[in-house]
Chain A
Amino acid sequence: MTRDQMTDPDSRTDNQATDGGRESLANNDLEGSDPTTDPLVDSSIDVDKSAAPSGSESRTVIESRDLDVFYDDVQALQSVDIDIPAEQVTAIIGPSGCGKSTFLRCINRMNDLVDAARVDGELLFEGKNVYDDDVDPVVLRRKIGMVFQAPNPFPKSIYDNVTYGLDVQGVDGDYDEIVEDALRRAALWDEVKDQLDSSGLDLSGGQQQRLCIARAIAPDPDVILMDEPASALDPVATSKIEDLIEDLAEEYTVVIVTHNMQQAARISDKTAVFLTGGELVEFDDTDKIFENPEHDRVEDYITGKFG
């Protein structure tokens, strides 16, 4: 990377205050480039537009209508309306506790497992409300894979961890091949190829995180939900995971929660910004969000004034 300020939104807040506009901000980093492609947060990073040109109208797979979630009496999401496009990467950002994980867990009905949780409103997957009575959450979860916020490998061998989804879903096929492929894509294969029989719990935190990613992609779901999949990874592994996510977006729909603005800017096509209180404040093309957000609160959050 050529810019020293890439991970420091705070430094940019000052900049912005003095420069008085984001246009100049963007331009002082990438002289002469097309100003519309210069993201607010980090001009040294190309927002990837090759995969899906911004503004292209893509089919919607996941759609929420007036979605409220309560944990007992505490409201965690407030009437969220969102259309998540197919075969693109949608990033969800927002301060801690704003309901990002809650929203992800609504999509594959993991909140069913939390007794305190109650969901109102509609969440449509492929046009069908997943909270309808005739939807089997198990079938839903087989279509929508998930990587959890905290790595949670099973106390089984690495191999069995990756094949778990195949096993329970009754998928046929050459497991050895699937395992190798999934581990390679999760950038873990080289580290574990000689110890596939050792326990997944014996791996380091970052390795466990990648193991969980491999486990989620092995059964080939349609949608993959990732809750901070790179929170414990070094820059090399992170960039491999980001490559994986971009790869996945060719065929799959990826929804990723991240606290890392650069990551959101780098890999996502759309970005949703939740703010405290469980409100979806803005949802738009990633460039738009990072360059020219509609709400001041979003801008404040992205530039680090908030939170």
Chain B
Amino acid sequence: MATDQRTGDWYGTDEAVSRLRGQAFKSLCLGATLLALVSVFVLLLYVANDAFRPLSADIGWLLTFAASLLLPTLGATGYYYTRDARAGETAAIALGLPVVSLLLTGGVFITLEHIVTVYQWASIVVALAIAAAVVFAHGRVRTSADLERFIVLVAVPIAALVLIPDLILSLPMLPTEALALLGSVVVPVAVVVGWFVRRQRENDRDGAIAAGLTLVVAAAGLGLAPVVGLSPFVWMLLVVVTAVPVGLYVESVVRRGAGTAGLAFPVLVAGGVIVGVVVTEALGFAGPNSWLDWGFLTDPPSRTPEDAGFYPPLVGSVMMLLVIVVSAFPVGVGAAVYLEEYAPDRGWWGRLVDLIEVNIGNLAGVPSVVYGVLGLALFIRQGGLGSGTALVGGFTVSLLILPIVIISSQEAISAVPDSMREASYGMGATRWQTVRNVVLPEALPGIMTGNILAMGRAIGETAPLLIIGAPAVVRIAPDSFTSKFSAMPRQIYTWSSEIDAAFQHGVLAAGVMTLLVVLLLMNGAAIIIRNKYQRRD
């Protein structure tokens, strides 16, 4: 060996290899990371403090909740973190899932309250069911007529959707709202639950039990709901949108038998809240005079800061998201599938496609104000739609997020390995079969993650709403897509220009907090979806 003369100190640290520049670079990077994190964190803390005003509470109230809620959760978190990471994961989802599903329940409630009535929904469900039955029967009778089947597949649902709902809605006698909900929401959900459980447990009986249970518990609301002070309608929604996913999740954790300790976490949190409330009530400690409370979420805006609420903009945001989901997502995902799977890579037409792709990237960087102007010109001036409506707002913001949806979907699709496409073609699959059976299922989690993140971007957009004329204040929640609406960021903007300091520091912070919570939950959902499917490979 060449190092013979210096035996013994080949491993030393005597300046042989300098690490100085490397260390300096590393510290700089760390500094940048910390600066970014700390500034965001301070901002959040500042807003949260304004919104909740924890210091306005009695010291006894703070101490009680610290003892009943804060300490146990901190303890549990520490335990999960150090001892049982698997349970920690369960704990995070077990706490997050009820919150997200409650939020979703609120969204569905708002939708059924203001956007489509239960009767409309029920008639659509009936129409689709009839269409499905017809298509199925046709497939049975005429097994080989491909083109005919395709025509039936397209035409029958359209015909059904056009004709049947009106027919049903014009019936002289309609069931009560609760019954209509039972038939059009609970029953389909119960069927899906049953099918899902059957597949998971590979057991017909378990599937039937799960479906039956869903149905019975939801139907029990017809009698029981008034006893606990809810309407049967709300009860059923809670069962279907909150209890069912939570139940399925708990079942899956118990079945897998790993990380079951995490299920205790939400119980701990809920128990802590209840104990805290009971104790503070008994001892007469006053809670914080928070701006963000139940009333804030359910009241309309008002001239007096104390009465100000956020309900109409919440509804407006939900409506806008609905428009976006049905307009931007299909268009964006469709474009991404075309560009990735069908568009030629070479030749004249291939170069054009390249140009288009580059420009989609550019469009993603165009400022949102510009999209607002585009929406104004396109939908209001040219299209003749009313200004400041949820429809126009949704369309305009759809345009804005379309490039993001396309690019993120394209990334998800191109991440599907080519070897899988080859395998499919090699088995004699057509391009359509390959896209449907292999590419889309594999890319779906990525597409969904991208779409949810894009939705997060959409829900916070303000400038386009200002330009398309969303009103500064909407006192009554919009009841159709063509009535004037306001969205959360639009309302926050209005509050920010109020002169009263209580608006600027309190109500505004509460609005920002609400918006941020919704955003964080959406991003959290996107991250969970991504992690869940990433782990597999």
Contact = CB atoms under 8 A, between A and B. Distances in A.
B442 A155 contact: yes
A113 B420 contact: no
B426 A164 contact: no
Nearest to A151: B419
Contacts of B421: 113
Contacts of A215: 423, 427
A82 interface: no
A154 B438 contact: yes
B419 A165 contact: no
Nearest to B418: A113
Interface stretch (B157-165, B306-314, B429-437, B483-491): B429-437
Chain B interface size band reads 20 to 34
A48 B225 CA distance: 79
A148 B346 contact: no
B428 A141 contact: yes
Chain A interface size band reads 20 to 34
A164 B427 contact: yes
A154 B423 contact: yes
Interface string A127-157: 0000000000011011001101010111100
Contacts of B437: 164, 167-168
Nearest to A218: B427
B259 to A, nearest CB: 20
B492 to A, nearest CB: 43
A145 B426 contact: yes
Interface of B is mostly: helix
Contact of A168 (B422, B428, B536, B537): B428
B496 interface: no
A197 interface: yes
B202 interface: yes
Contacts of A139: 428
Interface string B434-447: 00011001100000
A155 B419 CA distance: 12
Nearest to A168: B429
A139 B428 CA distance: 7
Contact of B423 (A142, A152, A169): A152
Contacts of B423: 148, 152-154, 212, 215
A4 interface: no
B424 interface: yes
Given A155-B536, A168-B427, A110 B438 contact: no
B353 to A, nearest CB: 12
A199 interface: yes
A219 B426 CA distance: 12
Contact of A154 (B424, B425, B430, B536): B424
24 contacts: A110-B425, A115-B346, A138-B425, A138-B428, A138-B429, A139-B428, A142-B428, A146-B426, A148-B419, A150-B419, A154-B420, A154-B438, A164-B429, A168-B424, A168-B427, A168-B428, A168-B429, A168-B430, A168-B437, A197-B202, A199-B536, A201-B536, A212-B423, A215-B423
Given A110-B426, A154-B438, A168-B427, 6 more contacts: A138-B428, A141-B425, A152-B422, A152-B423, A154-B423, A215-B423
Interface of B: 202, 344-346, 417, 419-430, 433, 437-438, 441-442, 536-537
Shortest 5 CB-CB contacts between residues of A and residues of B: A142-B428, A152-B419, A168-B429, A165-B427, A146-B426
